[in-house]
Amino acid sequence: MKFFVDTADVGDIRELAATGLLDGVTTNPSLIAKSGRDFIEVISEICEIVPGPVSAEVAAMEADAMIVEGRKLAAIADNVAVKLPLTMDGLKACRTISEDGTSVNVTLCFSPAQALLAAKAGADYISPFVGRLDDIGQNGMHLIDDIRTIYDNYPDLGGTQILVASIRSPAHVVEAAKLGADVCTIPPSVIKQLVQHPLTDKGLDGFMKDWAKTGQSI
């Protein structure tokens, strides 16, 4: 499974890219606003740091305007994936932009039917938001399971990858991997949580104390 980081914070992206664990980046208007920086400048800088896909979202709501904005974003760098909303206009724009040869990430997916439509429209990635479904009392992972089943039933859909979004905890990542999701886009804080375990810390502390008793160095 691929790991994308869900942030527009260039410092966090540089830190995580240095680990070799990072396969791509997703951004959205909220994350860009939080950065306080120029949108095009941020996307360009991220694309230089990470060779994998960098999702950049359009702001337009109408298909023709989405296509114009999407092509402008695609011109920033070869690894830009244009991010489009899962609306009828977004699906129309998805078809055109994907036929241009540009990678498309269709976002804000909350149902299997929406995921099926995105695949038929030519999306490279579909972004189901599991955390937001959990927030309203539904099980977001059931959506991932349903999408995986549908996509596996119809390989001729074009290989749309399931990009699990709105991840809130390491448990979401593990469940997504068990269900066969292709990608998880994860906040920096949760990526760091993945490495943590109290028994690892306890074991390392014991090893270090025993090593100190030997008086040796390497």
Structure tokens at 162: 């399931």
Asked if residues 17 and 50 have their Cβ atoms less than 8 Å apart, the reply is yes
Catalytic residue among 83, 92, 192, 209: 83
Distance CA 179, CA 146 (A): 10
Question: Which residue in this structure is represented by tokens 């927030």?
Answer: 135
Note if 209 is an active site residue.
no
Structure tokens at 200: 């690892």
Distance CA 62, CA 154 (A): 29
Q: Please name the helix (run of DSSP H) or strand (run of DSSP E) that holds residue 128, with its range, or none.
A: strand 125-128
Residue 4 burial (10 A CB sphere; 0-12, 13-18, 19+): buried
Helix, strand, coil distribution of the chain in percent, nearest 5:
55, 20, 30
What is the greatest pairwise CA distance in the chain? 71
Distance CA 37, CA 175 (A): 34
Which amino acids are annotated catalytic? 83
